[in-house]
Amino acid sequence: MKHLLFSIFVSAASLVMAQDWDESLNTAKDVMTISENEREVIFEINKLRSDPSRYAREVVKPRLAKFHSDGKVYTNSQGVFIRTSEGKTAVMECIQALEATSPMQPLYYDSRLYDAAKSHGIDMRDNNFFEHDSSDGTQFYERLQKFGFNGHCAENLAAGNDAPEEIILQLIIDDGVPSRGHRTNLLTPDFNIVGAAIIEHPQWRHSCTMDLGEIEKEKEITIPTTNAGTSK
């Protein structure tokens, strides 16, 4: 009888752990002008922002088990071996940081931010580079202004994978980036809009350009503060 009760309790706990994320977080699900993966990137960001501690437990922590014996190389969801700079240390630091982060508002799709992100992804593809400035030297916030957005904003770049969960893991673990600037951008409470464009890349297979903004403070200007996951 004790064994049966224990099994019931374990099964109940497993059901709680396996519960789906609130579908209301899938704020771009009806935006048919972007790809399914691009919609899922926004959903993934909103999972992270809505419950950072749960995201750490259910999404980030399993990454630890994917590291090889040297603690530096892991196998991603597509079976590719990835060599890291910090190894498991960065993953554990990420988990601790998310556990200490309060929930925040979700992000909503913004066509201006998306168009700016997509144009940059195409530029990086056509000119085979990977950085925030455009091939003509235009900085990211100047690019956003050209597409009609002028306000508090930030940009993240991810490379190599087009799987939404892998993109977000790359940005929040921020391996080799001491400032953890990409994670900071994703977890800036004031941001409420986003555009994320996934484009093929000749060197890195794929790039994801992610522009985030705060619509309430549009027209205000602030000074850029970071280079890794740059913001303005």
Going from the first residue of the chain to its last (232 residues), give the mean pLDDT of each consecutive group of 10, the final group possibly shorter: 46 53 97 98 98 98 95 88 95 98 98 98 98 97 96 96 96 97 98 98 96 74 50 64
- CA distance to 19, 85, 192, per residue, from 39 (Å): 21, 30, 15
Which residues neighbour 152 within 8 Å (Cβ) at sequence distance 6 or greater? 190, 191, 213, 214, 217, 220, 222, 232
**What pLDDT, on the 0 to 100 scale, is given for residue 13?**
44
The greatest distance separating any two alpha carbons of the chain, rounded to the nearest whole angstrom, comes to: 72
Contact 178, 222 (CB under 8 A): no
**What pLDDT, on the 0 to 100 scale, is given for residue 125?**
98
Which residues neighbour 80 within 8 Å (Cβ) at sequence distance 6 or greater? 160, 161
Contact 149, 156 (CB under 8 A): no
Phi, psi values for residue 67, rounded to 5°: -80, 145
CA distance 210 to 114: 8
Contact 213, 194 (CB under 8 A): yes
**What pLDDT, on the 0 to 100 scale, is given for residue 78?**
80
